[in-house]
Amino acid sequence: MTINTLKKTAYTIKGWFGSARFYFTVTTIFFILAIVFFTWRVWETLSIRQPIDPEIWGQFGDFFGGTFGVFLSLLSVMLVVWTFKTQNRTAETQKFNDLFFELLHLYQSEVKDLCGQSEKIINVEEIPEKDSVKVTKEHISYDNKDFFDEEKWKVQKKYKNQKSFEKNRIRSVSYYMLFYIENRSKIAAYFRTLYRIFELIDKSNLITGSQRKEYAKIMRAQLTESELFFLRYNSMTAYGEQFVEYINRYHILKHLPAFELLEFKDWWEDMNRLERESVNILYYFICDALKDLFNISNSNESYKVNILPQENTKYQISLSLFNRSDFSINIEKNILMPNMANEYRGLDKLDDKRIQQLLDCFIKEIFLYSNYNQFNKAAEIETYSSPIITKGSVVKINSGIKNIKGNPLKYLYE
């Protein structure tokens, strides 16, 4: 038996002995045993054929009244204890609520401030004759606009992608740092408040485990996709690495559109808004189906699920999982069929090799990068893809990942 198992057992026993249910059960058992013991002792003298013996029935009445009176007294004490505990829990929950919503209002206030007026230094020019510098500032107003949406668009526009996905991941952090330096005075306070809220949820002893998840969902619902975009990159730096634990535990980046990340610009740069969104939807459905796949699969078994429209479509997409340690995405494309599904518009912009490369990166994002390499050991992970096969009008494309030691792949989902 492990230490964690012993702790859970101890907490269970402690909770049982400290509950009203325990005292009620013990009192009821004691009451029943007392009745049985008394009737067993006098049973031989009880008979419906004989006249009632006032002495015996008087003793029974005294016994029953005394026992039942003790039972009622204990029950009253239990109700008082239960009421006190309930009131105490309510007060503790209210105390947590007050602090949580105070921080939530602070967070909302900081977001509102970010969406107000600001100035940015766009140029610094030396003036030797005056031994000084000339600072040129740009006045920016985010009124009726979202600060994070605007800044995300600017970062995406400035970003210059490379052909290597891994190099792009490193490069994207440096572009994020330019944004961070420009907005440090406000954005640092924003991230500290956000971190403090999830720290409160995680470490408070005033709420239960299920309540933690509910409060985390409330906070998670406040975050826009653009906020998640910057939170993702902030947590890849030394300034936000402590946030990673909470991001993984409470699935904070669950609704982040992964295809909008800078490292995917090599694919979405030439796509319009609808085509980009279609690939985001495709990524979402892959993750959602993968969750179902992990829920139903067992070791030493192979499972396969299909995603999105499967009839009269140009693309047939399926996911396969074997032994919980080998996962692959498989696409069959019929080049003679027109694409009638909006979810596949983005794929039409890519050739077969580019589609396979995109699947490779999607898989790395799902199993490695989305959880900051915290779930699967990089030394045990191997990605693979089979040669693209064309048979008649059908093109088969696949990409996969496996644990070379046969250990189960770990996937972040909820």
Instruction: Tell me what pLDDT residue 291 has.
Output: 86
Q: Do 331 and 386 belong to one domain?
A: yes
pLDDT tens digits for range 166-209: 999 999 999 999 999 989 988 999 999 999 999 999 999 888 88
Q: Do 155 and 256 belong to one domain?
A: yes
Contacts 24+ apart (CB under 8 A), 23-29: 23/74, 23/78, 23/81, 24/75, 24/78, 27/71, 27/74, 27/75, 27/78, 28/71
Q: Do 292 and 394 belong to one domain?
A: yes
Whether residue 225 contacts residue 255, with contact meaning beta carbons closer than 8 Å, is answered with yes
Q: Does the pLDDT of residue 18 top 60, yes or no?
A: no
Which residue among 260, 290, 315 closes a domain?
A: 260
- Whether 72 is in a domain gets the answer yes
pLDDT-derived band at 47, boundaries 50, 70, 90: low
Q: Which two tokens stand for residue 157?
A: 């526009």
Let me know how many helices (H) and strands (E) the chain has, helices first: 12, 8
Q: Do 319 and 212 belong to one domain?
A: no
pLDDT-derived band at 269, boundaries 50, 70, 90: very high
- Whether 36 is in a domain gets the answer yes
- Whether 184 is in a domain gets the answer yes
Main-chain dihedrals φ then ψ at residue 361, nearest 5 degrees: -70, -35
Q: Do 292 and 395 belong to one domain?
A: yes
pLDDT: is 41 or 402 the higher one?
Answer: 402
Q: Do 233 and 289 belong to one domain?
A: no
- Whether 414 is in a domain gets the answer no
Q: Which residue bears the tokens 């730096």?
A: 237
Q: Do 80 and 128 belong to one domain?
A: no
- Whether 413 is in a domain gets the answer no
Q: Do 285 and 240 belong to one domain?
A: no
Average pLDDT value over all residues in the chain? 82
Which residue among 126, 145, 164 closes a domain?
A: 145
**Domains: count for the chain:** 4
Instruction: Tell me what pLDDT residue 8 has.
Output: 46
Q: How far is CA 196 from the centre of its chain?
A: 17
Question: Percent helix, strand and coil across the chain, each rounded to 5?
Answer: 60, 15, 25
Strand partners, 332: 316, 396
pLDDT tens digits for range 205-262: 888 888 899 999 999 999 999 999 999 999 999 999 999 999 999 999 999 999 999 9
Instruction: Tell me what pLDDT residue 46 has.
Output: 53
Strand partners, 403: 381
Q: How far apart are CA 103 and CA 195, in angstroms?
A: 10
Q: Do 156 and 240 belong to one domain?
A: yes
Q: Which helix (H) or strand (E) holds 202?
A: helix 184-203
pLDDT tens digits for range 138-153: 656 665 558 999 999 9
- Whether 62 is in a domain gets the answer yes
- Whether 411 is in a domain gets the answer no
Q: Which helix (H) or strand (E) holds 231?
A: helix 225-234
- Whether 251 is in a domain gets the answer yes
Q: Does the pLDDT of residue 285 top 50, yes or no?
A: yes
pTM: 0.74
224 residue type, one letter: T
**Structural domain that includes position 59:** 3-45+55-112
Q: How far apart are CA 106 and CA 70, in angstroms?
A: 54
pLDDT: is 65 or 362 the higher one?
Answer: 362
Q: How far apart are the first and last CA of the chain?
A: 28
Instruction: Tell me what pLDDT residue 320 has.
Output: 92
Tell me the range of 54-58, 303-307, 364-368 where mean pLDDT is highest: 364-368
Q: Does the pLDDT of residue 265 top 80, yes or no?
A: yes
Q: Do 154 and 94 belong to one domain?
A: no
CA distances from 402 to 248, 292, 294 (A): 21, 18, 14
Q: Do 310 and 369 belong to one domain?
A: yes
Instruction: Tell me what pLDDT residue 7 has.
Output: 41
Q: Any idea how long the chain is?
A: 414
